[in-house]
Each structure stands twice: as structure tokens, then as C-alpha cells.
């Protein structure tokens, strides 16, 4: 049990114990002072709370505070009747009210008790009863409204559950308050009875048992009784007021103090001036106290002036806002609308919980991990992925945009799982047939009930956020060359410059510009070659940039320098199975290379190009049929142009040159492209 829980449990047990066991007067002083402090705390909490559910424990607090006061009443009564003394606190309160006149003091005390019982306690009890009745009557209508919002798609099932739970909590709270208000009423009645018992019994005990004179006994026990009653009734009055405040608060977004000031002094300032004028008239032209009325009139006039000044400032702010809105409407102020996000992920309203952390969605965390993964694999700092909901999409649909252009879309079922057959499972499972969006594999959407069965059979089962995250990852990798711009390249170069300033100073801008380097990096990323080793890339460009400015040729030099990375990427166990080009095809490609002032390109007759592509696809098909990754190995001078030729039919074909494979690797040709 936690320490706080233990203290509360011991405290409640102690309340019962002090009813039975006599308590020293100095302890009574402390306990009575604590009672007043706790009642003040409850009053302030009831004033500053915005929603009654924030103090849902309030009915229980009323019961505990009532038991605590009654326990103190019994203890003080025991001390008064037995010893004629109940401590400094009770004596001080009694002297303060009586002030030498027993009759007047006792009458004042009775008035306080009657006001507390008849006005506040009875009123709070009635309001609590009515609030409970109306809350219970309104429950069916609120439940129907929640069901209607759920059926129309305005809220999710989880939001509906939260709303139903909140409606139930309101009902339970007001029902409990209706019952708890009876504790306050009973406490007030008990206080009156104990008061008369203390006076009557104390008077008799003082005269009979202790031999006091009539006047002394009456004075002593009346003083102690009034003090005891005040010490008990003042906290009861505060808690009754707290109860009334809690059950009379209407729906509000602020606390009682703010509501009071805004609603009393937030209206027309002319009202304050009118009240001030009436008070001045009454103070000057009637026998009423002039100074007091003049002071009150000045306060109201000042309040009106302050309200008028505040309203003027608000109107000026509204004018400024309208002016800003007018400025935005002008044709020359649309520049801010021209900015396009590099990557956008838009989804239908049914997928909002996946991106909302408050509803348990972890899509944002997954995107952070995607950016880390891409940085590690490709060396690219992926721009911020902008998430947006789009009501024009189907509820379970999402689209990915690169620089404002839609590049792909997919659909997931929020409360299902995607099951994919890795090719080794023969038994079928029940589900909705679909296609995995990232790789185009056949799959099924299955329910949570079928999930365990699918995993046991050997299916690969993933949840909707993983489907979206995987799809987004593949799109970013595929479009990485479009996402790297000159500003990104400058940041990468500046990062290298911190540790290798000599490389950067030699290369930029003396040999190559940032734009040239950006084109080379884009070429590498287009074929999924990592640019993480920027030092090697920049050093290679510094070596060969003085020989040629052709960015395509410089890209090939960089690839050859990264042969270790490329070998590690595509070679397993120091052996690689490839498709090679016939010498006639390589010669044909070399003879078809044309150059102009902007660079070099491949100009081959369409019929010849078609024959080369057909032979390539046939060889690739043969290689994939035996489970091998299709890799084509060519001469260095041919590699780039053959890659561009094959991109007309597929972008996934890996084309390497001999210089990009480490000499220690064993190369085995399983096919040849010829015409």
C-alpha cells in the first residue's frame, strides 16, 4: 500500500477512535483547526474547478468530513461536561461571539445555525436532488446522440466509449451528491441537538456536581457551548456552501471567479455609469451616508471606465484581425500559399486514430523511425512528413504525395490485420482478399480472432500502422532522388566540413558547384546507392572533377570508388550470379552513345532497342524462376546507358559494372543478353 493510501486509511480509523477514547485539549485544538482548514480547502476547490468530474470524490469527502465533525463534537462535548474545558480554540470562539453578553451572543449563534441549516443546507439538498433527477432523465437522450454520431462516422468507437463512460460518471456523481447532501443536513440537525444538550447538561452538572453558582455555571457552559457550536458550524457552513456551489455550477469552461467577473462586469459599461449616478444621487440628495455612497459610486464609475477601455482594445484587435484577413485576400499576398511540403501523408477520417497519440496511435513515432532508417540506409535526411486528414478520401484510404503530387495510394482496414503468405503455407484462412500496397503481394485482411491462427500456420501478420509505415518507407526510398535538393546538399557538405574542411574547400566551389554535386547524389539515390559516406564521394569528385564536368560520368567514378559498399550490398558468400551482355550488344551500345553540350545520351534505333529489351526480360525471367535476384553485369562505359535503356520497362533491375565488384568475388554468368 502506498504511503498516501495508508495515511488516509489510518485517518478514517482515527475518526472512530476519538469518539470512544478521550482526547487531550491540546490535541482537540489541533484537530479543530485542521477541520477549519479542510473545509476552506473544499470551498476553494469547488470554486476553482471547471468540471464536476474533476472532483468526482466530492460525495465521499462530504461523508468523511461529516464523520470527522461529529467525532470532534462528541469529543468536545465529553470535555465540556466532564472537565468544563475544551481547549483554547473553543474558548476563543465563544468569547469572540458572546463578548460579555450571554443572551445576545447566544442569539447571534442561533441565527448563524438557523441560516446554515434552513437556507444553505436545505437549498443545496434540493438542488442536488433536482440535478440528479434531470441527469438521470437525460441519460437515454445522450446515449442516443452518441450512437447517432458513431453511426454517422463523426466519432470513433473509442470516442463513443469515452463519451458513454462520461455520461455514466455524471449520472453517478449527481446521484451520489443527492445522497451525500443528506449527510450535511443531518450534521446540521445533530449540531443543534448537541448545542442544547451541552447547555442543559452543562448547567445541571456545573450546579449539582461542581457546586457552581447559577450565574457562573450559565456563563461558563454557555460560552463553551457557543464556542463548540461555532467551531463545528463554521466548517459545516463552508462545506454546505461548497456543496451548493458544486451542484449549482452550470456548464462552463472556466472557474467560478472568472465566470463571476466576466458575467457581472463583462456587459455594457453604461450599466456601471447608471448605477454610479444613482448612488451619487442617493448620497447627495437623501439622508443616507454621503461618503459611503460617493465611494461606492466612484468604484462603479471606475469599473465602467475600465470595461469601456477593455472593449475598445478588443474592437481594435478585431479591426487588426480584419485588416490582416483583408491583406490575405489581396492577390499579392498569396506567396505563403505557394509552399509545397516535400512529403505528405493524407488519410481518411477512419484512420485518424492511427495518427492521434491521445487515442493510442503510434504512426508519428513510426515516421520518426522511418526517417532514422532512411538516414542509416541511404544517408539521406528525409524531410518532415506532413500528416493531414482528408474528408474527400474514403474513411480507410490514404495517399502519399511527393512535392504536392500524388504518387501512390492504399487502403487499410482499421480493426483488421494484414496476413501474407510467405509461400510456404498451404492452408487457407478466412479473410478479405487484398494486395499488400508496398510490394504488390497477395494478402488477406483478417480479424483479431483469426490472427493467432494465421501466425501459427506461418503467415506474416502485420497491423494497419505497419502497413502504412512500410508502404511509406518504400515510396521514400524509390523517390529519394527527388527529395534531395541543393539546400539539403549544402547541409550535408557543411556537416562534412566540420571534420574534413580540406576536402570541401578543395572541391566547392573551385571544381564543382553545389548543383553539380546535387545531380551526382541524385543519380546515386536513383539506384538506391547510399550517400552516407560523403567523405569518399567528395574526395572522388575532387579527384576526377578536374578531368570532366559530366555529372553522369562523375557518378560512375563515384560508384567505382564505392565498390566495397556495392559488393557488400549485392554479394552473398563471395559469389554472385549475374546476367552478362554479349560483346555485340556492348559494342552496339557504345556506338550508339551521342554527346552534346549538355552531356551524353543513348540514341539507338527503336527496333534494335526492342530486341535488346526482349532478350533482357527473357534472361531476367529465367533468373527469377530459380529464386535469384536479377543482376546484370556490364562494362563500365556501358553500364549507365544500359541502365537507362532498361528503365523504360522496369526500374528494379540492378545493373553493375565490373569495376563495382571487388576482385575477390566469384562471378558466375547464368544468362546473356544478345540480339
Residues 399, 537, single domain; the answer is no
Q: Is 660 inside a domain boundary?
A: yes
Residues 353, 278, single domain; the answer is no
What pLDDT does 227 receive? 73
Q: How far apart are CA 64 and CA 61, in angstroms?
A: 5
Domain count, the chain: 5
369 pLDDT higher than 80: yes
Query: Of 528, 561, 594, which residue is a domain's last?
Result: 561
70 pLDDT higher than 90: no
143 pLDDT higher than 70: yes
333 pLDDT higher than 60: no
Q: Cell digits for 24? A: 487531550
Dihedrals phi, psi of 546, to nearest 5 degrees: -80, -15
Q: Which pLDDT band holds residue 253 (cuts at 50, 70, 90)?
A: low
468 pLDDT higher than 50: yes
Q: Which pLDDT band holds residue 397 (cuts at 50, 70, 90)?
A: very high
Residues 192, 50, single domain; the answer is yes
What pLDDT does 475 receive? 94
Residues 594, 556, single domain; the answer is no
Query: Of 526, 561, 596, which residue is a domain's last?
Result: 561
Residues 276, 231, single domain; the answer is no
Give the single-character DSSP code of 395.
T
Mean pLDDT on 349-369: 85
Q: What is the percentage of the chain residues whose pLDDT exceeds 90?
A: 30
Give pLDDT tens digits for 486-518: 999 999 999 999 999 999 999 998 999 999 999
Residue 616, H or E segment: helix 606-625
Indicate the burial class of 395 (C-beta count within 10 angstroms; 0-12, 13-18, 19 or more): middle
352 pLDDT higher than 70: yes
Q: Is 580 inside a domain boundary?
A: yes
Considering only residues 229 and 468, tell me which one the structure prediction assigns the higher pLDDT.
468
Residues 538, 663, single domain; the answer is no
- Range scoring the smallest mean pLDDT among 299-303, 339-343, 555-559, 580-584: 299-303
Mean predicted lDDT score pLDDT of the chain: 81
Q: Is 425 helix (H, G, I), strand (E, B) or coil?
A: coil
Considering only residues 303 and 610, tell me which one the structure prediction assigns the higher pLDDT.
610
Q: Cell digits for 397? A: 484510404
Mean pLDDT on 435-446: 91
Which range marks the domain in which residue 386 is found?
A: 348-477
What pLDDT does 28 receive? 79
337 pLDDT higher than 50: yes
- Show the 3-state SS of 81-140: HHHCCCCHHHHHHHHHHHCCCHHHHHHHHHHHHHHHHHHHHHHHHHHHHHHHHHHHHHHH
Mean pLDDT on 131-136: 68
Residues 437, 502, single domain; the answer is no
Q: Which of 511, 568, 498 is nearest to 539 (CA)?
A: 511
Q: How far apart are CA 41 and CA 204, in angstroms?
A: 39
Q: What is the CATH number of the domain that holds 596?
A: 3.40.50.12790
Q: 105 with 169: CB under 8 angstroms?
A: no
Dihedrals phi, psi of 198, to nearest 5 degrees: -60, -45
Residues 536, 551, single domain; the answer is yes
Q: Is 656 inside a domain boundary?
A: yes
Q: Is 303 inside a domain boundary?
A: yes
138 pLDDT higher than 90: no
251 pLDDT higher than 50: no
What pLDDT does 420 receive? 92
- Range scoring the smallest mean pLDDT among 269-278, 432-441, 570-579: 269-278
Q: Is 339 inside a domain boundary?
A: no
Q: Is 334 inside a domain boundary?
A: no
Q: What is the CATH number of the domain that holds 500?
A: 1.10.8.540
The b-or-e profile of 432-461 (16+ CB within 10 A means b, else e) is eebebbbeeeebbbbeeebbeebeebebeb
Mean pLDDT on 400-419: 92
- Range scoring the smallest mean pLDDT among 155-169, 199-213, 537-551, 556-570: 199-213
Q: Which pLDDT band holds residue 173 (cuts at 50, 70, 90)?
A: confident
Mean pLDDT on 627-643: 90
Residues 136, 193, single domain; the answer is yes
567 pLDDT higher than 70: yes
Give pLDDT tens digits for 636-665: 999 999 998 998 888 889 999 999 999 999
What pLDDT does 311 receive? 73
325 pLDDT higher than 70: no
Residues 230, 273, single domain; the answer is no
Q: Which pLDDT band holds residue 170 (cuts at 50, 70, 90)?
A: confident
The b-or-e profile of 276-289 (16+ CB within 10 A means b, else e) is beebbebbeeeeee
Q: Is 378 inside a domain boundary?
A: yes
What pLDDT does 264 receive? 62
Q: 522 with 481: CB under 8 angstroms?
A: yes
What pLDDT does 490 receive? 93
Total Cβ atoms within 10 A of residue 64 = 17
Residues 467, 550, single domain; the answer is no
Considering only residues 268 and 144, tell me which one the structure prediction assigns the higher pLDDT.
144
- Range scoring the smallest mean pLDDT among 7-11, 140-144, 568-572, 628-632: 140-144
Q: Is 141 inside a domain boundary?
A: yes
Query: Of 498, 527, 561, which residue is a domain's last?
Result: 561
Residues 141, 236, single domain; the answer is yes
560 pLDDT higher than 60: yes
Question: Any residues with CB less than 8 A from the CB of 482 and at least 6 apart, and which?
Answer: 402, 403, 522
- Range scoring the smallest mean pLDDT among 245-249, 476-480, 511-515: 245-249
Q: Cell digits for 266? A: 463583462
Total Cβ atoms within 10 A of residue 424 = 8
Q: What is the CATH number of the domain that holds 464?
A: 3.40.30.60
Q: 419 with 431: CB under 8 angstroms?
A: yes
What pLDDT does 249 receive? 61
Q: How far apart are CA 565 and CA 567, in angstroms?
A: 5
Cis bond before residue 96 (omega within 30° of 0): no
Amino acid at each position: 500500500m502506498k504511503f498516501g493510501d495508508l495515511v488516509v486509511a489510518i485517518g478514517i480509523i482515527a475518526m472512530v477512535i476519538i469518539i470512544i477514547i478521550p482526547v487531550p485539549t491540546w490535541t482537540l485544538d489541533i484537530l479543530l483547526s485542521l477541520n477549519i482548514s479542510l473545509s476552506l480547502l473544499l470551498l476553494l476547490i469547488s470554486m476553482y474547478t471547471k468540471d464536476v468530474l474533476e472532483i468526482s470524490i466530492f460525495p465521499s469527502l462530504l461523508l468523511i468530513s461529516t464523520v470527522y465533525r461529529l467525532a470532534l463534537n462528541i469529543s468536545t462535548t465529553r470535555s465540556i461536561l466532564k472537565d468544563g474545558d475544551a481547549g483554547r480554540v473553543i474558548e476563543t470562539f465563544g468569547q469572540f461571539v458572546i463578548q460579555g453578553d450571554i443572551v445576545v451572543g447566544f442569539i447571534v449563534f442561533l441565527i448563524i445555525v438557523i441560516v446554515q441549516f434552513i437556507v444553505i443546507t436545505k437549498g443545496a439538498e434540493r438542488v442536488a436532488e433536482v440535478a440528479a433527477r434531470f441527469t438521470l432523465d437525460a441519460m437515454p437522450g445522450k446515449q442516443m446522440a452518441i450512437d447517432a454520431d458513431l453511426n454517422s462516422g463523426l466519432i470513433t468507437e473509442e470516442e463513443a466509449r469515452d463519451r458513454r463512460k462520461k455520461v455514466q460518471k455524471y449520472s453517478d456523481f449527481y446521484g451520489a451528491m443527492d445522497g451525500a447532501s443528506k449527510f450535511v443536513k443531518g450534521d446540521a440537525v445533530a449540531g443543534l441537538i448537541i448545542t442544547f444538550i451541552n447547555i442543559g447538561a452543562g448547567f445541571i452538572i456545573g450546579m449539582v456536581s461542581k457546586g457552581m453558582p447559577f450565574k457562573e455555571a450559565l456563563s461558563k457552559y454557555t460560552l463553551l457551548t457557543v464556542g463548540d457550536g461555532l467551531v463545528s458550524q463554521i466548517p459545516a457552513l463552508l462545506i454546505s456552501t461548497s456543496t451548493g456551489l458544486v451542484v449549482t455550477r452550470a456548464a462552463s469552461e472556466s472557474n467560478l471567479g472568472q465566470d463571476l467577473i466576466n458575467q457581472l462586469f463583462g456587459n455594457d459599461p453604461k450599466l456601471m455609469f447608471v448605477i454610479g449616478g444613482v448612488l451619487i444621487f442617493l448620497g447627495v440628495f437623501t439622508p443616507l451616508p454621503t461618503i459611503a455612497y460617493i465611494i461606492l459610486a466612484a468604484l462603479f464609475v471606475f469599473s465602467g471606465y475600465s470595461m469601456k477601455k477593455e472593449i475598445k482594445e478588443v474592437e481594435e484587435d478585431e479591426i487588426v484581425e480584419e485588416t490582416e484577413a483583408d491583406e490575405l485576400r489581396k492577390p499579392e499576398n498569396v506567396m505563403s500559399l505557394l509552399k509545397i511540403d516535400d512529403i505528405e501523408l493524407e488519410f481518411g477520417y477512419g484512420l485518424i486514430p492511427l495518427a492521434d497519440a491521445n487515442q493510442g496511435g503510434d504512426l508519428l513515432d513510426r515516421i520518426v523511425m522511418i526517417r532514422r532508417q532512411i538516414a542509416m540506409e541511404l544517408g539521406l535526411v528525409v524531410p518532415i512528413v506532413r500528416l493531414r486528414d482528408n474528408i474527400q478520401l474514403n474513411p480507410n484510404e490514404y495517399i502519399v504525395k511527393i512535392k504536392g503530387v500524388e504518387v501512390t495510394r492504399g487502403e487499410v482496414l482499421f480493426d483488421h490485420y494484414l496476413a501474407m503468405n510467405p509461400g510456404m503455407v498451404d492452408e487457407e484462412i478466412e479473410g478479405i482478399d487484398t494486395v499488400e500496397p508496398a510490394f504488390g503481394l497477395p494478402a488477406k485482411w483478417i480479424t483479431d480472432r483469426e490472427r493467432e491462427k494465421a501466425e501459427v500456420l506461418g503467415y506474416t501478420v502485420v497491423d494497419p500502422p505497419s502497413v502504412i509505415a512500410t508502404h511509406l518507407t518504400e515510396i521514400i526510398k524509390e523517390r529519394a532522388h527527388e527529395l534531395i535538393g541543393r539546400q539539403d546538399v549544402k547541409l550535408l557538405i557543411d556537416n562534412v566540413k566540420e571534420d574534413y574542411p580540406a576536402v570541401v574547400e578543395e572541391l566547392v566551389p573551385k571544381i564543382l558547384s553545389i548543383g553539380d554535386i546535387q545531380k551526382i547524389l541524385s543519380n546515386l539515390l536513383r539506384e538506391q546507392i547510399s550517400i552516407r559516406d560523403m567523405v569518399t564521394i567528395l574526395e572522388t569528385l575532387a579527384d576526377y572533377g578536374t578531368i570532366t564536368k559530366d555529372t553522369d560520368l562523375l557518378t560512375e567514378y563515384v560508384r567505382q570508388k564505392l565498390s566495397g559498399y556495392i559488393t557488400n550490398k549485392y554479394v552473398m558468400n563471395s559469389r554472385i550470379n549475374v546476367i552478362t551482355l554479349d560483346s555485340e550488344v556492348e559494342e552496339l551500345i557504345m556506338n550508339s552513345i551521342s554527346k552534346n553540350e549538355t552531356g551524353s545520351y543513348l540514341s539507338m534505333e527503336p527496333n534494335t532497342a526492342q530486341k535488346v529489351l526482349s532478350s533482357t526480360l527473357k534472361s531476367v525471367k529465367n533468373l527469377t524462376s530459380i529464386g535469384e535476384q536479377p543482376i546484370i553485369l556490364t562494362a563500365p562505359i556501358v553500364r549507365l546507358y544500359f541502365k537507362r535503356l532498361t528503365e523504360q520497362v522496369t526500374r528494379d533491375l540492378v545493373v553493375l559494372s565490373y569495376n563495382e565488384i571487388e576482385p575477390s568475388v566469384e562471378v558466375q554468368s547464368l544468362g546473356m543478353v544478345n540480339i
